[in-house]
Amino acid sequence: MSYPTIDPKAEALIFDLDGTLADSIPVHNACWHEVCKAFNYKYNEQLMFQMTGMPTRKFAEYIKNDSKCSISVDDIMKNKQALFISKIGTIKPIEKVVALVKQCHGKYPMAIGTGGGRKSVGQMLDALDLRKYFDVIVTADDVENHKPEPDTFLKCAELMNVHPSQCQVFEDGEPGIKAARKAGMMVTDVKAFY
């Protein structure tokens, strides 16, 4: 069984949350199905793979535009977030990536760089008992431009006081992988370790 490894040039580590540390994608998909069912829209799970790492608002905007429903983007978002928070306790860690976090704790500065909102991110980290391992947490609420733009990861590097080129990002989503590359960081696609 192979595990993700640290690049010898890495001085700091940045982890995405959904789909990287937390096996939360099935829960997100289940919530979107339930929210969309209320206004007879068939949610396509491919959207999660295309947009993973982007904030909930982007998903809600896409669904609103595609469904042409009368519900506001804010209400779609609120309904989805409330449902997700009610199911947080069912989310499991992605063991191989979490094992790496535990192994590197105290040896490298570590950050979370996620497209999730601060409230749900905090609750998920607490539910998985992971918050204590991270020096920095950057959420969708902390940057203006989200993945695939590099701002989330650049903010992590800045707050850890480490040059972007010395940061290694662990990601599962294409927007996040693009963001890490744009930031000039080393990147590991964790999907190989599921």
d(CA 184, CA 168): 10
Coil, strand or helix at 10: coil
Q: Which two structure tokens, joined as six digits, stand for 106?
A: 């105290």
Q: Is 141 a catalytic residue?
A: no
Whole-angstrom CA distances from 106 to 6, 57, 133, 181 are 14, 35, 8, 26
Chain centroid to Cα 46, Å, comes to 16
Tell me how many helices (H) and strands (E) the chain has. Answer: 8, 5
Q: Which is the catalytic residue, given 7, 16, 23, 189? A: 16
Q: Which residues are catalytic, by number? A: 16
